[in-house]
Amino acid sequence: MNRRISRALVLVDTKDGAEIHCAKCGHAIGPGGQPWKPGATVREVSMRGVGGQAYTSGEKVILRRFSCPKCGSLFDTETALPGEPFLDDILVV
Strand order in the sheet with 17-22: 2-4, 9-14, 17-22, 28-31
Please tell me the distance from the alpha carbon of residue 55 to that of residue 15, in angstroms, as a whole number. 46
What integer is the mean pLDDT of 14-42?
Answer: 94
H or E stretch covering 84: none
pTM of the model: 0.85
Model confidence at 61: pLDDT above 70: yes
Q: What is the DSSP letter of 13?
A: E
Give the residue extent of every domain in the chain.
2-80
Question: At 85, is the pLDDT very low, low, confident or very high (cuts 50, 70, 90)?
Answer: very high
